[in-house]
Amino acid sequence: MSMEDIQMLIKFLGGLGIFLYGMDRMGDGLQKSAGHKMQQLLGALTDNPVMGILLGTGVTAIILSSNATTIMVVGFVNAGILNLSQAVGIIMGANIGTTVTSWIVSMNEWGEMLKPEFFSPILVFSGALIRYLSRNGKAKQVGEILVGFGLLFVGLGFMSETIASYHSNEAFLSVFTFLGKNPLLGVAAGLFVTVLIQSSSVSVGVLQVLALNGMIGWQCAVFINLGQNIGSCAAALRSSTGANRTAKRAAVIHLLFNAIGAILFGTVMAVLFWLNPDLAVSPITSVGISIFHTAFNVINTILLFPFAGFLVKASGILIREDASASKCCKDSKDEMKRHLDSRILDTPSFAIESVTHEVVNMGYAALKNFDLAALVLLEDNKSDAIKVKKMEQMIDDYEKILTDYLIKISNQSLNEEQHLLVKNLFYTISDFERISDHCENLSELALEKSRRSIVFSEDADRELHEMFHSVRSSLEHSIKARASSDMSEVRAVVRSEELVDNLEEEFRERHITRLASQSCKPENGVIYLDTLNNLERISDHAHNIAGFVRDEV
């Protein structure tokens, strides 16, 4: 290999790196811009496969990576957020969505003004200017998209210049001629390159660069592209390692879908090229690759959509039940860890939605602990004190798990709204943990009351029942506010908090009056006042949680 060849190889690899980085920046910017809408997409998940296809197409078009979408699907299935029926539709849609990148790459065949050398420097300059001069978060995201878009074409230009120098190289051309005459080798080459690069979008882009320079024919391009579609399954298969059986089946469904499609299309195209040899060797354009790539994924989806149930059953045959690993984990801590799957982190919008759901579950655990503490104190159920302590330990574990996951999310690329939400979730889990601490305090006060044979007066007992009821209302509304971001729930918390503050002040004054009239013993009063204080603090924490929601809306 000559020094010139080495320089060309370095230039090509540099162009490939810029192309990859540009696509990543562009997808990241698009994802940030669509952050809240991406979160709302989770609400669209139903058992309707058509909705799944639309969702998979939309998400992949936004993040510019079918790999990321299918890995995310494996994560959701592993976490129990998605079932296999929902996953099938999203996987089919992801294959359609990934064609967006090929159409972006083929833009430079649409006209002179769309050639990379003309507009990519303008995009990079204007995007960088917006990115670094603007103080507006949305504008910065637009700048990031423009920079990524421009860099994508800069990298494409580098690769195209390198390939162009080998336009008439006999050895180089003979390789593609050989692959064109051997369909199975063409498929194998496409599969190998895609697995190596770990991105079907990028490998299709490289194929389009070859087409831009008139170096490959239709037959060669078609079979390489079919291999690229099969190779796109590698990331999901690799990601499913260590996941549960159902998640592995989701990855296998992706492989079956693309492999069956490649066999069907490969057979049809082989017959077509046999009948029309001139078409087989005629040069293909970058747009031609985009058309075929899109046609393959759309038609394959239409053909296999009615057989989604068959794909699910076939995956069950290939991935059989493992008796030792199939036992459902009953430990809620382990269940939470399973739901907070690391595979989802690459799409922060969905990771935030998933962790928010688990924060709400932590809130309901704190509410359950509150009810247990009420039974211990108000009904003298001493046996429930042990349950309160166990629940408090479990909520402490929740706090550690959720905090670790939120730290991982905060290290991802987030927009301003997502940063605020993650910060508020940190504070929220801390408030729920403190609420559980106060529940344990209430349980311990109840045990102290029992040990000292303290009996509250009828008035004091009635006041505590009223106080517990009002505080519970405040806590329950705060959890609902966090779950739904509903301002009516936030206002309900504010009203409950005001009522609790007023009751606490009123009941303290009544207690002082009872002490003065000697209708209440001083030692009883200590337990009573400490109970009021803990209840008031629980309501304060509930008010904090509602306040975070109010700041986000």
Kindly state the average pLDDT of the residues 20-34: 74
Count, residues in the chain: 553
pLDDT in tens, 508-526: 888 788 777 766 666 667 8
Q: Which of 70-84, 165-179, 360-374, 537-551 has the lowest average pLDDT?
A: 165-179
Indicate the helix (H) or strand (E) that contains 501: helix 487-516
| Sign of the dihedral defined by the CA atoms of residues 52, 53, 57, 58, in that order | negative
The per-residue DSSP string of 240-280 comes to: TTTS-HHHHHHHHHHHHHHHHHHHHHHHHHHHHHHH-HHHH
pLDDT in tens, 444-475: 999 988 888 888 888 888 999 999 999 999 99
What is 333-552's CATH topology?
A: Methane Monooxygenase Hydroxylase; Chain G, domain 1 (1.20.58)
More confident residue, 431 or 320: 431
Residue identified by tokens 């239709």 is: 218
**What is the domain partition of the chain in residue ranges?**
3-318, 333-552
The CB-side HSE value for 281 (13 A sphere, CA atoms) comes to: 8
How far is residue 468's CA from residue 322's CA, in Å, rounded to a whole number?
48
The per-residue DSSP string of 312-342 comes to: HHHHHHHS---TTT-SPP--HHHHHHHHS-G
The predicted structure's pLDDT at residue 324: 45
Residue identified by tokens 């790196």 is: 17
List Cβ neighbours of 184 (8 Å cut-off, separation of 6 or more).
223
Strand partners, 283: 217
Q: In whole numbers, what is the pLDDT of the chain averaged over residues?
A: 84
Q: Which of 45-54, 262-271, 433-442, 484-493 has the lowest average pLDDT?
A: 45-54
Indicate the helix (H) or strand (E) that contains 64: none
Q: Euclidean distance between the first and final Cα of the chain, in Å?
A: 62
The predicted structure's pLDDT at residue 402: 94
